[in-house]
Structure 1
Amino acid sequence: MSEPIDWLPDGTPFSPRFSDRYHSENGGLDQARQVFLHGCGLPGAWAGQAQWRILETGFGFGLNFLLTWAAWRADAQRPRLLHFISTEAWPIGAADLLRAASAHPALAPLAQELHDQFWGLLPGVHRLTFDGGRVLLTLCVGDAQTVLRQQEWTVDSVYLDGFSPQRNPDLWNLHTLKAVARCCRRGTRLATWTIARSVRDALTQCGFNAEKVAGGPPKRDNLQATFDPRWEPRTSRTAPAHPVHTAPARCMVIGAGLAGAATAASLARRGWQVQVLDMGDAPAAGASGLPVGLFAPHLSPDDNVFSRVSRSGVRAMLQQSKALLQQGVDWNPCGVLERRPELNLGLPEGWEQGPGADWSRAASAPILQAAGLAQDTPACWHAKAGWVQPARLVRALLAQPGIEWCPRTPVARLQRSPGTNGCATGQWQALDEHGHAIAEAECVVLAAGPACNALLAASSAPALALQSVRGQLSWGLQDPGATALPPFPVNGNGGLVAHVPREVGLAWHMGSTFERDVDALPLTPAEAASAHATNWRRLQELLPGAAPTLQAAFAGTSPSDAAAVRAWASVRCTSTDRLPIVGPVDAQSLPGLWVCTAMGARGLTRAVLCGELLAALLNAEPLPLDARLARAMGTERLEK
């Protein structure tokens, strides 16, 4: 449940928990502008910068974010990327957020966009994206002090906000302000509306030069500070373990599947010039070329790493697909029904009484009925899930400005460019089978699935712990009268996706098989027949009511060849711990060589998130998910 709000007669929101108003009588707009935006020297301070990073200690109704976003939009000298990080222990409801913003008509369109993404805010880190991915809100749900100590940020401005020190002293105590200081670089400016002596003294102790400045009604004075400690701040916590780029550069991405395309798009949005090299004639020539795929969150009673990574990935996927694809044609966020084992819905205790219900809940009777399943069938409904035609997403990602798509360009080996004196330079070269350089850049990202290890070996780099997994999808054209097929995807042991538009009519898809350590393609006729038989058996178990509709197709007795079952097969790539691998290969010996691979069978859930993670790491940005989850996917874990 969201934080309950009382609305006073004058329209001011009031917190019963802290017995305090959320903002001043004028709706807080003047405070947001004068105290925080101008108090941090904005927008002037960010002029001409590649990115600007702001930390706020209390999101509330999001007014500071909305005003800062509006100022960024209006500024011709704005940075290419605006990062706004905010902590909030008790998120309000989306409807209350919109109601509060109604007092400021100029901000109404921005407030509506924020409202539309303001859901499913479980404890942890949530990345919300706006303006084509150039305004990034990292909303951290949890106690501010705890959140600040767990994450690894470096920021340029700080909005010190929240309920008064008398009402919420923990937000203003020395330990919290020390955690804020650990996020600051020398020169970071901080602004707040309180001039409490305890706050001033604590900021001074933490290395800030603080001073009272003239305020505006109803506050006579405000507080501004600059982080400039007399000592040299410790940087071991926030300093990246690899070189970062303070300005956009050039990058070669090897592999034009989901991982490569998502990485290329994330870098291009940041101003990088990206070449995507692939041996195929068209994008998504490998495992990303499957006719249709599912994206849905993973469930676990203990809400483990896989579940939390999957939710971050689904949110990123929804945002990217909405921006680039045509709903109902290229993709459909229609929800997904997941059949579960008996007595194991996979939902954590109390899940459906909180924001988790926005993601997943026990399937209702009408949903089970629509799938042709008995009312006592154990199943969960994933509301924020759906299907995508991956190749269309890959093409849309590669069509972004700043990306050059290079088909039929196999890379045999990578090397550091030789300098004039024979020493390696900071450039990487991609070489063909004859040893000729075909591309050069400061950075190279391997996103070639199972082929990554061959390139690493040819480039004298350590191999990754990768595993090949072959799979076959069974599919066919759909009879217009196939009313028994469910209107949404159903998965469990295998999955059925029907009603997917193709060039002619609609199609159904069932699968796929999962053969570990097998990479031979194409499948032999006997192997293809065996895979069809496996998919047919799973369909009967998954949806016994829908299976008869497709029996003729699988049996080879369809009235026409057009309705017969067809096969699509490829080889996916996973890691030994089943998590993606994202990061530098060897930051010390091979600077500039990165990987983004091992998406496994969840490429649609993971690829967009992993592209954003890699770009954030390269550019020293706030990460798009919890730092601990990022480490779980990082290359550093493979060294242990």
Structure 2
Amino acid sequence: MAEPVEWRADGTPFSPRFQDRYRSEDGGLAQAREVFVAGCGLPQAWRGAARWCVLETGFGLGLNFLATWKAWRDDPDRPATLHYVATEAWPADADDVRRNAQVDPGFDDLGRQLADAWWGLDAGTHRLSLDGGRVLLTLLVGDSAEALRGLGRWADSVYLDGFSPDRNPDMWRAETLRAVARCCRPGARLSTWTVARTVRDGLTAAGFSVRKVEGVPPKRHNLQAELVHLPARHVALPDRAPGRCVVAGAGLAGAAAARSLALRGWRATVFDPANSPASGASGVPAGLFAPHVSADDAVLSRLSRAGVRSLCATADELLERSVDWDISGVTQIREGQLPVFHRQAGWMRPAALVRAMLATPGVTVRYGEALDLAAIEAETLVIIATGHASGLQLGYGLTLQPVAGQVSYGPTDDAPAVDGPWNGHGHFLPRVPDHSGANFWLTGASFERDSAAVVVPDGELETHRAGNRQRLAELLPLLEPALPTMFTAASDWRGVRGTSPDRLPIVGPWPDDTSRVWACTALGARGITMAVLCAEILAARLHGEPMPVDAGLVKAVGTKRIVRRIARKTGNA
């Protein structure tokens, strides 16, 4: 449930929980711009940097973020990527975030983007991709000290905000300030409106050099600081400068990786032996994206929720709603349980997304050419994203299981009206537009383990089509009378997915951290949902950026767990 906000007669938002204003009655813009943005030396400080990372404790309704985003937009010498990481224990409603942005007409577009992305903010890490993926807001929902633990060193600027120390003391306690310091690069600048002695002492103890400065009314003084002493257990993350890279595979994984790197200033060349994009499993006529649901909220469930968020932001930027994709909602059938409706879910034509991502400036594609790793210069970064074939290119004993899948589809006129997509043991899309302006239904898919066969005998094709028909009858019994007519006019499409031994994606350097070869593969049957997220995890690891998901999920999809599994299997552990 969203945190309630009271709006006073003077237009000031007020927190009933903390009995304090979110911002001053003058609108709070002067504090946002002078205390925080200018107080950290911005925009001058970020000029010449490839990327910039701001950390804020206490996101509130987002005024400091909007001021920083606007300053970034207005600066022709801005870095390619702006990261903004903020803690917030009690997220407000999207309508309150939108209303707060009305404090300045210059925030209209920014406030709309922020409010549109403001959904599903339960406890944990949430990446909101804005401004075409160049502004990345990472919300850490929960206690600040806990949320910042173990994140590594990436912050260039720090805004200490939040309700006053006497109303919200946990936000300002020494443990929180030490956690902030552990996230900072050497020399990171910090600003805040409070000059409370406990805050000054806590910052000094955490390694900051602290000074009072002239305040912004109604405050007489504000506080500025610089990290001069690195805290104990300081984790230094790698930070690779953008350059040239090559990507093997022009499917969802390869296109997403190329786009994520190009947005950060890389020049990416994508190789694919086919003559067109999405020639493999990514070429399915249409597919679903929806979160996985489990009673224990397992790794796959948390990854899929983050994946849906990343996918929707990218699709909204690059594709046309109701033509290439839509957030239609998906009804999930689980055996022995009531149906669940996923509001933030829908359908997509994945090849359209692949083409759009490959059109990102900085990305070139060489069709009809397989990547020859031996011919690539030694200093060039290599990304392997070729699905079930990735094991052959990555080597070191990696074997990915090929899983063939067959879908059936036909004209919607032959099918009874069904309200939205359904998912369960198989799935059904009742109405997907094709390039001619007509619509088709689609159902499937078969799950043929250890099969890499795209072309099969007619008899086998018919067998899998019959399996799709049976699964659809079980998923939606109301369709059963229409199935003979539907499947008489149906066509079939086959592709092959690649899965890892634990059915999770594989993302990271291969086979160790010193390698120039990185993997973004094994997305299995959830390529639509996972590709954009996995590409962002890869880019964040490569550059030492804040992660789009929590550290446990990054580790769960990392390459080390696969390398250890191979070592145990071969007796080299």
TM-score by length of 2: 0.95
Deviation, structure 1 residue 16: 1.5
Instruction: Describe how 1:163-174 pairs up with structure 2 within 5 A.
Output: 163-174=163-174
Contact 1:212 1:221 in 2 (8 A): yes
Contact 1:412 1:455 in 2 (8 A): no
Q: Does 1:263 align with 2:263?
A: no
Q: Which residue of structure 2 aligns with residue 614 of structure 1? A: 538
Instruction: Describe how 1:391-402 pairs up with structure 2 within 5 A.
Output: 391-402=351-362
Return the match for 2:499 from 554, 557, 574. 574
Given residue 443 of structure 1, which amino acid in structure 2 is its aligned partner? L
C-alpha separation between the residues in 2 aligned to 1:545 and 1:253?
Answer: 46
Instruction: Describe how 1:474-485 pairs up with structure 2 within 5 A.
Output: 474-479=408-413, 482=415, 484-485=416-417
Q: Which residue of structure 1 aligns with residue 235 of structure 2? A: 237
Contact 1:298 1:307 in 2 (8 A): yes
Return the match for 2:466 from 527, 533, 543. 533
C-alpha separation between the residues in 1 aligned to 2:119 and 2:454?
Answer: 43
C-alpha separation between the residues in 2 aligned to 1:4 and 1:238?
Answer: 39
Deviation, structure 1 residue 11: 2.0
Given residue 471 of structure 1, which amino acid in structure 2 is its aligned partner? G
Q: Which residue of structure 2 aligns with residue 498 of structure 1? A: 430
C-alpha separation between the residues in 1 aligned to 2:551 and 2:333?
Answer: 32
C-alpha separation between the residues in 2 aligned to 1:588 and 1:37?
Answer: 36
Return the match for 1:290 from 280, 284, 289. 284
C-alpha separation between the residues in 1 aligned to 2:30 and 2:542?
Answer: 37
Q: Which residue of structure 2 aligns with residue 508 of structure 1? A: 441
Q: Does 1:450 align with 2:388?
A: yes
Instruction: Describe how 1:86-235 pairs up with structure 2 within 5 A.
Output: 86-229=86-229, 233-234=231-232
Instruction: Describe how 1:233-382 pairs up with structure 2 within 5 A.
Output: 233-234=231-232, 237-240=235-238, 244-245=239-240, 247-343=241-337, 378-382=338-342
Give the superposed CA RMSD: 1.6
- Deviations along 1:539-595, one digit per CA (max 9) or x if unpaired, are 1111111232231243x4xxxxxxx22111111011111111000003355x21000
Contact 2:406 2:446 in 1 (8 A): yes
Q: Which residue of structure 2 aligns with residue 38 of structure 1? A: 38
Contact 2:87 2:139 in 1 (8 A): yes
- Deviations along 1:398-421, one digit per CA (max 9) or x if unpaired, are 11111111111023544674xxxx
- Deviations along 1:483-515, one digit per CA (max 9) or x if unpaired, are x23141111110111221123422111100001
Q: Which residue of structure 2 aligns with residue 635 of structure 1? A: 559
C-alpha separation between the residues in 1 aligned to 2:292 and 2:275?
Answer: 34
C-alpha separation between the residues in 1 aligned to 2:399 and 2:165?
Answer: 51
Deviation, structure 1 residue 151: 2.9
Given residue 629 of structure 1, which amino acid in structure 2 is its aligned partner? L
C-alpha separation between the residues in 2 aligned to 1:4 and 1:411?
Answer: 54
Deviation, structure 1 residue 96: 1.4
Q: Which residue of structure 1 aligns with residue 69 of structure 2? A: 69
C-alpha separation between the residues in 2 aligned to 1:411 and 1:189?
Answer: 44
Deviation, structure 1 residue 238: 3.9
Deviation, structure 1 residue 465: 4.8
What secondary structure sits across from 1:156 in the alignment? Answer: strand
C-alpha separation between the residues in 1 aligned to 2:480 and 2:342?
Answer: 23
C-alpha separation between the residues in 2 aligned to 1:120 and 1:37?
Answer: 28
Given residue 519 of structure 1, which amino acid in structure 2 is its aligned partner? A
Task: Return closer, same or farther for 1:98/1:412 CA change in 2, 3 Å cut-off.
Answer: closer
Task: Return closer, same or farther for 1:213/1:291 CA change in 2, 3 Å cut-off.
Answer: same
C-alpha separation between the residues in 2 aligned to 1:104 and 1:413?
Answer: 53
- Deviations along 1:115-147, one digit per CA (max 9) or x if unpaired, are 111111011111112211111111111000100
| Runs of at least 5 residues in structure 1 that lack an aligned partner in the other structure | 344-377, 418-425, 428-441, 557-563
What secondary structure sits across from 2:32 in the alignment? Answer: helix
C-alpha separation between the residues in 2 aligned to 1:172 and 1:549?
Answer: 64
C-alpha separation between the residues in 2 aligned to 1:485 and 1:153?
Answer: 54
What secondary structure sits across from 2:87 in the alignment? Answer: strand
Given residue 288 of structure 1, which amino acid in structure 2 is its aligned partner? S
Given residue 473 of structure 1, which amino acid in structure 2 is its aligned partner? V
Deviation, structure 1 residue 233: 4.5
Contact 1:487 1:499 in 2 (8 A): no
Q: Which residue of structure 2 aligns with residue 58 of structure 1? A: 58
Contact 2:410 2:440 in 1 (8 A): yes
C-alpha separation between the residues in 2 aligned to 1:123 and 1:238?
Answer: 26
| Runs of at least 5 residues in structure 2 that lack an aligned partner in the other structure | 565-573
C-alpha separation between the residues in 1 aligned to 2:399 and 2:554?
Answer: 18
